[in-house]
A and B are shown apart, each in its own frame.
Chain A
Amino acid sequence: MTTPEKGQLVTANRLRDGIAVFLTRSGDWSETIDDAVLAQEPQAAAALEARAKDDEKKTIVSGAYLIDAERIGGRVRAAHIRERMRALGPTVRLDLGKQAEGKGAGFAAPEGV
């Protein structure tokens, strides 16, 4: 069992289609949360955020913000259910969204009701 690597990542919605995306190490935006780069220091988080703001100006994404997350065995789990939901798609339509396109996160949103 690997120790979870805790930190912050940047997420946003892609401007042209609104799809939830995550900032990667190479500075691209991925639809898969597992590709996200995790900042462990506040300065690193600020740097990621600054990069994201640049991409907002370049009209690639809109509404970028930092979220708490952890990487466990190569997969990323957002701390808040809202973000786990964004990383997967609606829990009531498993046939839709990232979860249906093979881009979903490795962690269920909340437990089913």
Chain B
Amino acid sequence: MYRYDEFDHQFVRDRTNQFRNQAERRLSGELTEEEFRPLRLMNGLYLQLHAYMLRVAIPYGTLSSRQMRQLALIAEKWDRGYGHFTTRQNIQYNWIKLEDTADILDALAEVEMHAIQTSGNCIRNVTTDHWAGAAADEIADPRPVGELLRQWSSLHPEFSYLPRKFKIAVTGAPNDRAAVKVHDIGLRLHKNGEGEIGWEVIVGGGLGRTPMVGVTVRDFLPQHELIGYLEAIMRVYNLYGRRDNKYKARIKILVHEIGAETFKAEVEAEYAKRPHPSTEVEERELKRIAAYFAAPPLEKLPRWSPSFEEAKLANPAFARWTKNNLGPHQADGYAIVNISLKPEGGIPGDATADQMRVMADLAERYSFDELRVSHAQNIVLPHVKKDDVFAVYQALEKVELAAANYGLAGDIIACPGLDYCALATARSIPIAQSISRKFADSKKQDEIGKLKINISGCINACGHHHVGHIGILGLDKKGEEFYQITLGGSSAESASIGTILGPGFAGHEVADAIETILDTYLKLRDPGEEFLATYRRLGAKPFKEALYATA
């Protein structure tokens, strides 16, 4: 199980004490808001529409039951009884008081958690596959490399004042669930014919106001060269990345402006200058880190679980849930349980303190004490015996966590939008709710099949609308909310940025528009063809015609 090492313990305690002092100085007037703002942001504290918001880091989305219970406690003691799991595998609390924040950070430190690197122009919290260490298709667990990068980048003096924020994602599986092509740096593991592993290094992807798919600068970088090579990338970015314009400061703009080939040549030139031996990752160090992520003691089980099969036969609702919400585990007799935080008409990613505790209890009892947060705002129990899946399902049902829509139309990704966020231009959550209600019929959802609907409440794209198969962007048109629809985005291995379909819609028209698009798809698809494939085959034309046909 992932844990801090002794350096982290001391470091986080020191940091919390520093923040306590800073907050006191702010409250007493010794610090102005201008002086305090960057300090609070470095500790994850934002000021939003209704109150402060605290964003807590969940490295690699990995949580123990104890940590999840502490998150529940914080929700109850210092917030309004719930938290919001985000598209960056973190959790946010919406009703935080400045005067309580140092106590909350102390409570987090008690369970080896913090809010560092969730904000600011630094290398942010590294994200990864929420099925890491469990997925059947995995070459290797990507989290040790994520952790290596965290240890390297945390408070790295050279990379603490970058031109802009910097996001790294890592996947150890060929099916990319970590969206590595739309991060500043994406790392994707490959295995060659000799059985050796190496990292594909992708640079310059990103969403926001200038969405781009990253370019591959190395196909197969040996693991021990990772730090040195990434350092070279960071140096080129730090040197040439624009600081004159916030909106042109991300590395994607640099890669785009000078061109991928020039960028790559600059990186290689910088890398050639590096004193390689000193930046090589020692095998011993990697092993030490990997031990934190050691696989749990899985039992040797038969692939077939009679009790699981019987429960499915006896309970069609359970059978449907298993079909949609289970992922293939690397060990026989186990399954990955995906808990949808998207009940019909609910708020994507929100969980109450009680729900958090139930999930923590289930993880403790059935999943080796482990939970994961996915960037799709769901929770994962990574290692559940098939024999136990029915018991897990029944417990989830009691607390309204048994929505069987994982990966379907109801599994909508949405940022907090104008209901909470100070940057938003329109609401996201009510749009998600209206679509979720529109597709409440489980038969219809199953018929539509795999679908990603993403909603952002502003151009900053926290809802990752550019990579939704159907993306929805909320904008402000003279004080009124209106919504643009894009089609054809994907954050998977064949990543693409969605294309705007046509004129936008008022909020109350969006769900109907989505229905029209999906009905068109159902009419035109080849047997077994998923929405994205149909769109890629036919292009926007038939969808445009259906949506904007004038009577």
Contact = CB atoms under 8 A, between A and B. Distances in A.
Contact of A110 (B47, B347, B433, B507): B507
Interface string B77-101: 0001000000000000011111100
A79 interface: yes
B135 interface: no
B479 A19 contact: no
B439 to A, nearest CB: 15
B404 to A, nearest CB: 23
Nearest to A96: B80
A102 interface: no
Contact of A92 (B33, B429, B476): B429
B407 interface: no
B418 interface: yes
B481 A15 contact: no
Interface string A80-113: 1110011001111100111000000000001111
B interface majority secondary structure: mixed
User: Chain A, interface size: which category?
Assistant: 20 to 34
B217 to A, nearest CB: 41
Given A57-B29, A113-B427, A18 B48 contact: yes
B50 A17 contact: no
A20 interface: yes
A80 B26 CA distance: 30
A80 B47 CA distance: 19
Interface string B394-427: 0000000000000000000000001110001001
B33 to A, nearest CB: 5
Which residue, of B26, B50, B431, has the highest number of chain A Cβ atoms within 10 A?
B50
Contact of B47 (A62, A81, A112): A62
Interface string B157-188: 00000000000000000000000000000000
B429 A81 contact: no
A91 to B, nearest CB: 6
B96 to A, nearest CB: 7
A13 interface: yes
A40 interface: no
Contact of B50 (A19, A56, A62, A113): A19
A85 B418 CA distance: 8
Interface residues of B, number: 36
B510 interface: yes
Interface in A36-95: 56-59, 62-63, 79-82, 85-86, 89-93
A89 B427 contact: no
Contacts of B546: none
B434 interface: yes
B434 to A, nearest CB: 5
Given A113-B430, A113-B510, A85 B27 contact: no
B29 A59 contact: yes
A21 to B, nearest CB: 11
A110 B481 contact: yes
A17 B78 CA distance: 11
B547 interface: no
B139 interface: no
Given A17-B99, A59-B28, A110 B49 contact: no
A18 B96 CA distance: 8
A82 B80 CA distance: 22
Interface of B: 26-29, 33, 47-52, 80, 94-99, 347, 418-420, 424, 427, 429-431, 433-434, 476, 479-481, 507-508, 510
Given A15-B27, A92-B429, A110-B427, 7 more contacts: A17-B51, A18-B96, A20-B50, A63-B33, A86-B50, A110-B507, A112-B430
